[in-house]
Structure 1
Amino acid sequence: MAELLKDVYNESFFDRLIGKLAAAYPDFPGESFLALVHADGWESLALKARMRRIAESLAATLPPDYREALAIVKRAAAGARGFEYMLFPDFVELRGLDDPEASVPALAELTSGSSAEFAVRPFIRRYPSLMMPQLKRWAADPDEHVRRLASEGCRPRLPWSFALDEFKRDPAPVLEVLELLKEDESEYVRRSVANNLNDIAKDHPALVLDVARRWYGRHPHTDWIVRHGCRTLLKRCDPEALRFFGLAPAERVAVEGLTLSAEEVPIGGELTVSFAVVHDGDEPVKLRIEYGVDFVKANGRPSRKLFKLSEKEYAPGATALRFRHKFAQLTTRKHYPGEHRVAIIVNGAETASLPFRLRS
């Protein structure tokens, strides 16, 4: 069985962590700290809950004066690299929300070793007039991790965190930050900018398309951001987004010979799907080809998920395509038995579909 992410917090990790803390603070009570960490319920805690348990245990075993404890945390975090060390920014969020003067610079310092993307959000929510100018300053930082924090921290819909509802309603302050990062040399930063733009598109599609029109064609880095930032609009088959990317309704294009490798598939198995895209025109045509699966949810109702197959120019004639879809149980998607359906979508329009059954 594959190791769960939360299992990174194992005996070996705690040996390293306590070593770092003891080096930064010789009086650190390692045994008491571990006892608090492994108190009732530890085994059942998910990844972020384990991070919070560790941060709480640090808060209970470091000096009660926040700034003294913060100095120890920063010394202990020096050289620590990896997402597991997000416990250090979490400590800042837990203990330091009432002291932004000390905490905000600490988050910028700590983000280089892990990420302060979650820890910074309570500060943005509580102190927007302080934090939005700070994010703009971070957007000019020489460290790509700090520049990424400027974007990632203010995403309206950051996964694994609470939504920033004020930016879901009015993303203008966020777009001011993204403007400063839209040509960033770091792919790490650009990916965050695109994900932020994609968050905004879920609530303000017309606004994001306006941004796309302003940004597109000015720099290769920005072009990638725009395309990736509009991916939800393309998956939703938004007609304006499709037109913007040159994906007009596909005339004289059909899907023929759709076949499935089986009419019934066990959960954990896979389905092979074959078909041909037939272009009856005289010139190549740009096509975005996706497939959708109508998954049965726990309530018995179908819910479609789209998967991109290709986006390119197709020559006149028939082009054979084939793909496999696996129905493994995932933490992000649980499968249920019942009648499902697979559909082929070309430039936003469903062109063919077939049913199949998923069984236990």
Structure 2
Amino acid sequence: MADESSPALKEIFNIERLEHIAAEMTAVYPAFDVAHFLQLATTGLADLSVMQRMARVSECLHAVLPLDYEASLKVLRDLAPRLNSSFVSMCLPHYVATYGADRFDLSMEALKYFTAFGSSEFAIRHFLRSDIERSLSLMHDWSRHDNEHVRRLASEGCRPRLPWSFRLERIQADPRLAAAILDNLKADNSLYVRKSVANHLNDITKDHPEWVLDLIEGWSLENRHTAWIARHALRSLIKQGNPRALAIIGAGGKPQVEIVDVQVNPPVIDLGEKITLSFGIKSSVQDSQRLVIDYAIDYVKANGSTSAKVFKLKTLTLPGHASETIARSQHIKELTTRRHYAGTHAVHVLVNGERLASTAFEILP
């Protein structure tokens, strides 16, 4: 997902969208008090982040609907397919998490329904935190569901480190709790689901890398869907040059190559300009080699020290004594997740986790 701090992102819940929600509510519940809803929802709107605005909508729906929880859910189920944004529809699972904590069966069934219109991934974590055994048991059943949205929720909802949400400390401490769910999904035919499983496993590598490696080494990677999940689940470990992770994807050997003519152009830039890293890679042996090629930039920090960031470049099979030219362009611009500072930034070429060549570029003050 995009960074929550993005100014444009929160405009998903702008005045026009709130009016759309109110109009569609009126269509499914004619007695809906549009004026009261809009008055509550728009108060202080400019100061709220996208997630705060999502919460605001569900709170205002609750404040305006003169119904009990079960009756309100029936209205919101009619509303869900009428909303014109999948992200906006996530206010409905938020409603469930906020007002349905003591109605487990009814609420979990509602989350299962709502997830097909956006996602219930944030809301379900409240139920996992309050009753993890019961929730995981139900999500295990969902991992075999016909609907890919429901299967994805089974994996995404119990990710230990889901972005924009609180961590699930018990699963973070013991990934075996959700392992059966991941096992059911390890060869899923939906890319939407496979991405979630890979991200879930990549989360676990931050705390239990050996557990993930043991798990994937026990899988048959002849299935292309399982192999895809393995590659993407191990991406952080591959960037770190973990030998077991590299071996799983067939790139565990020491690279017998030479890096030539490595350069960054232009070598001196102003912030906001583009650089292009280019180099040649030449095999020095007769046999073909499976190679994972990355590059790292040592970003200069405010205090003058540096912090490395690894970027994926290419995975290839290089025939014996063959050579290939590789190039990659990158904008060096301010991001919500990274500030740039003037100075010399080293750039390193990594092959199967080994640093084989370096160059540099300079950002002007």
Bin the TM-score by the shorter chain. Answer: over 0.9
The equivalent of 1:358 in structure 2 is: 363
CA shift in 2, pair 1:299/1:76, >3 Å: farther
Q: Please tell me whether the aligned partners of residues 216 and 226 of structure 1 are also in contact (alpha carbons under 8 angstroms).
A: no
CA shift in 2, pair 1:30/1:337, >3 Å: farther
Report whether the alignment pairs 1:44 with 2:47.
Answer: yes
> What are the equivalent positions in structure 2 for 1:1-360 lying under 5 Å apart?
4-40=8-44, 42-63=45-66, 65-80=68-83, 82-315=86-319, 316-360=321-365
Report deviation, 1:224: 1.0
Report deviation, 1:3: 7.8
Tell me the SS of whatever aligns to 1:194: helix
Q: Please tell me whether the aligned partners of residues 20 and 77 of structure 1 are also in contact (alpha carbons under 8 angstroms).
A: no
Q: Please tell me whether the aligned partners of residues 18 and 41 of structure 2 are also in contact (alpha carbons under 8 angstroms).
A: no
Which one is further off, 19-28 or 104-113? 19-28
Q: What one-letter code is carried by the residue in structure 2 that aligns with 1:290?
A: D
1:282-324 superposed Cα distances (whole Å, 9 cap, x missing partner): 1221111111111234454322111111111113143222221
User: Which segments of 5 or more consecutive residues in structure 2 lack a partner in the other structure?
Assistant: 1-5
Q: Hey, what's the Cα distance between the residues in 1 that align with 2:232 and 2:337? A: 21
Report deviation, 1:159: 0.9
CA shift in 2, pair 1:58/1:299, >3 Å: farther
Tell me the SS of whatever aligns to 1:111: helix
1:98-145 superposed Cα distances (whole Å, 9 cap, x missing partner): 221221110001111110001100101111121011001111211111
1:155-206 superposed Cα distances (whole Å, 9 cap, x missing partner): 1111111111111110112111111111222111111111111111221111
Quote the sequence identity (%).
37
CA shift in 2, pair 1:297/1:96, >3 Å: farther
Tell me the SS of whatever aligns to 1:146: helix
Tell me the SS of whatever aligns to 1:281: coil
TM-score by length of 1: 0.94
User: Which segments of 5 or more consecutive residues in structure 1 lack a partner in the other structure?
Assistant: none
Q: Hey, what's the Cα distance between the residues in 1 that align with 2:141 and 2:177? A: 14
Q: Hey, what's the Cα distance between the residues in 1 that align with 2:8 and 2:134? A: 38
Aligned residue pairs, count: 358
Which one is further off, 18-27 or 6-15? 6-15
Tell me the SS of whatever aligns to 1:273: strand
Q: Hey, what's the Cα distance between the residues in 2 that align with 1:298 and 1:16? A: 45
CA RMSD of aligned residues (A): 1.8
Which one is further off, 50-59 or 292-301? 292-301
Report deviation, 1:210: 1.3
TM-score by length of 2: 0.93
Tell me the SS of whatever aligns to 2:312: strand
Q: What one-letter code is carried by the residue in structure 2 that aligns with 1:62?
A: L
Report deviation, 1:346: 0.6
Report deviation, 1:262: 2.6
Q: Hey, what's the Cα distance between the residues in 2 that align with 1:4 and 1:177? A: 35
Which one is further off, 278-287 or 70-79? 70-79
CA shift in 2, pair 1:252/1:221, >3 Å: closer
Q: Hey, what's the Cα distance between the residues in 2 that align with 1:25 and 1:97? A: 24
Which one is further off, 350-359 or 101-110? 350-359
Report deviation, 1:153: 0.3
Q: Hey, what's the Cα distance between the residues in 2 that align with 1:261 and 1:251? A: 26
Report deviation, 1:79: 4.0
CA shift in 2, pair 1:335/1:58, >3 Å: farther
